[in-house]
Chain A
Amino acid sequence: MTPGNLNFIVIDDSKLDCFIAEKIIRNTGRGAVVKSFIMAPEALEYITGNNGPDNNLKTVMLVDIQMPIMNGFEFIEAFEKLPQPIRDNYIIYVLSSSINENDISRVRYHTSVKQFLNKPLTSNTLSTILELID
């Protein structure tokens, strides 16, 4: 395992959940650049603007669903409208505490989302999905 071979973006309106996710990501030793956003529009700006990391690494994105102003689905829909070369750099996971069937099946409908993950994020879950990326 090469350390720090992935970038990470966490989008969650709960600061505690951002903190937890960042912590767990750092513990895996895989995070090169780890960024958290409590507002989805800011994350979108970060992705589309040219101020991202220039390390040519893929970015794993963990996106919450229920957020004010722009929720996870709105974010994903906006993301799916971005040009293919940008999208290719990202692997999206939805990370939510929702147990609502509609939410879960709606995630499945978005091909840009790799998987629905249940909160809380644990080291085990993260290791498992990162192994699948390799």
Chain B
Amino acid sequence: MEKPERIRVLYIDDEINNLNGFKASFRLDYNVMIASDTADAMVMLEKHPDIRVILCDQRMPTQTGVQFFEQIRSQHPLPIRVLITGYTDIESVIDSINKGNIFRYIKKPWTDTDVKSAIEESNKFYIANSLLTLKNEELEKAYLELDKFAYSVTHDMRGPLMSLLGAIDISKNSDNISEIKDTLGMMEKSVQKLDDFIKSIHEYYSLKRGQLQISEINFKEMVSDLYDLYGIAGKLEHINFTVNVVQNDPFRSDAVFLKIILNNLVANAFKFQRHDIVGKIVDLNITVHKGNVELIVRDNGIGIQNEYVNDIFKMFFRATSSEIGSGFGLYNVKDALTKLNGEIFVTSTLNEGTTFKVIIPSK
């Protein structure tokens, strides 16, 4: 039986006796792989990217250990390289250590203690290194997001403000009351857009920074606010809003995150309607079943063009020039779902409507 936490070690030597001896001595402590030439070793490296430590004999017929390490360094930078050699090769070993090709060397004939300490030290170095790589990748991602964020924030906040300034300028120079009223109506939308954007930023940060706060969720209670809010909007815009909740089992999750998901999906269903049709609908169906909740939000609105369906969860992506979208809502939905281990599925047809299905397991 292989224990997953055993360190995977690759040993390369052209003398079969040495290989067998090595395997016999260390197979209980480590996950040992052996290769009798560097070509075999290459194949194993390709096959097992989780090899942490490579021990290689210096004197081999086709290639020296130093040459082999130099060769694999760029392709397989992660495994830690340990050279095994007699003292006669000391010049080339020193050179190789100085070039950074080798982390440790073990003098031949090796003792178990030498090998063990080299592997343990190498493993520590490996862990520190890969943690650093991981952290660097995370940092890079965070910076990229921050750049994108800063750029879009200036646009999405400054845009509506500049529109307002322009509109104020026009109104100041106009004596026509009905024209001024028209302009005021548009200014109102602009202010609402800015406010929506600020709310989304707030959601974004509660999602990024927030720890999950798990509590019992009563979906009927949760959607009643939503129903009050959108029921009124629905009446004004002749959108038939139906909500159906089936919850016979208890469900535990983070109420704030769930609300972000529900609010954004329902808000989108209301936003992206086809204004010229009769019989506009938004359906919300919630079913708690076998430890999962299934949320289905369906509308018969403008739909999403096929080619954009995969992009809608990206930050600041907008698939339509309809003014109401900030490109933030679905990104937040996806983020909240990731934290709740949930999944989302979209089916959409242009000019027919969109259905979002969300499945979240109870915590």
Residues of A whose CB lies within 8 Å of any CB of B are 13-17, 19-20, 23-24, 27, 38-39, 66-69, 97-100, 118-123
Contacts and interface: CB of A to CB of B under 8 A. Distances in A.
B151 A120 contact: no
Contact of B158 (A15, A67, A99, A123): A99
A27 B162 CA distance: 19
Given A20-B166, A68-B321, 4 more contacts: A14-B190, A97-B159, A99-B158, A100-B151
B187 interface: yes
A16 B319 contact: no
Given A97-B155, A97-B158, A100-B154, A120 B163 contact: yes
B167 A20 contact: yes
A27 B187 CA distance: 20
B319 A120 contact: no
9 contacts: A14-B323, A16-B163, A19-B167, A19-B186, A68-B319, A69-B319, A100-B154, A100-B155, A120-B163
Nearest to B179: A23
A24 B170 contact: yes
A1 to B, nearest CB: 19
Contacts of A20: 163, 166-167, 169-170
Nearest to B157: A97
Nearest to A100: B151
B199 interface: no
Contacts of B187: 16
B165 interface: yes
Contacts of B327: 68
B318 interface: yes
A10 to B, nearest CB: 12
**Count class of interface residues, chain B:** 20 to 34
Given A16-B167, A121-B166, A39 B321 contact: yes
A10 B131 CA distance: 52
Interface in B233-267: none
B333 to A, nearest CB: 18
A67 B151 contact: no
A106 B334 CA distance: 32
Interface in B188-224: 189-190
B162 A119 contact: yes
B63 interface: no
Contact of B169 (A67, A97, A118, A122): A122
Contacts of A119: 159, 162-163, 165-166
A19 B180 CA distance: 12
A17 B163 CA distance: 6
Contacts of A16: 163, 166-167, 186-187, 189-190
Interface of B: 151, 154-155, 158-159, 161-163, 165-167, 169-170, 173, 183, 186-187, 189-190, 317-321, 323, 325, 327
Contacts of A27: 173
Contacts of A121: 166
A23 B170 contact: yes
B196 to A, nearest CB: 14
B319 A99 contact: no
Contacts of B190: 14, 16
Contacts of B317: 68
Nearest to B327: A68
Nearest to B320: A68
Contacts of A17: 162-163, 166
Contacts of A23: 170
Nearest to A118: B162
Given A39-B321, A68-B319, A68-B321, A120 B159 contact: no
Nearest to A39: B321
A38 B159 CA distance: 15
Nearest to B158: A97
B123 to A, nearest CB: 45
> Which of A23, A39, A67, A122 gathers most chain B CB within 10 Å?
A23
| Residue from A19, A100, A118, A122 having most chain B Cβ neighbours under 10 A | A19
A6 to B, nearest CB: 20
Nearest to B319: A68
A27 B317 CA distance: 36
Contact of B163 (A14, A39, A67): A14
Contact of B162 (A39, A68, A97): A97
A98 B155 contact: yes
Contacts of A118: 162
A83 to B, nearest CB: 27
Contacts of A69: 318-321
B155 A66 contact: yes
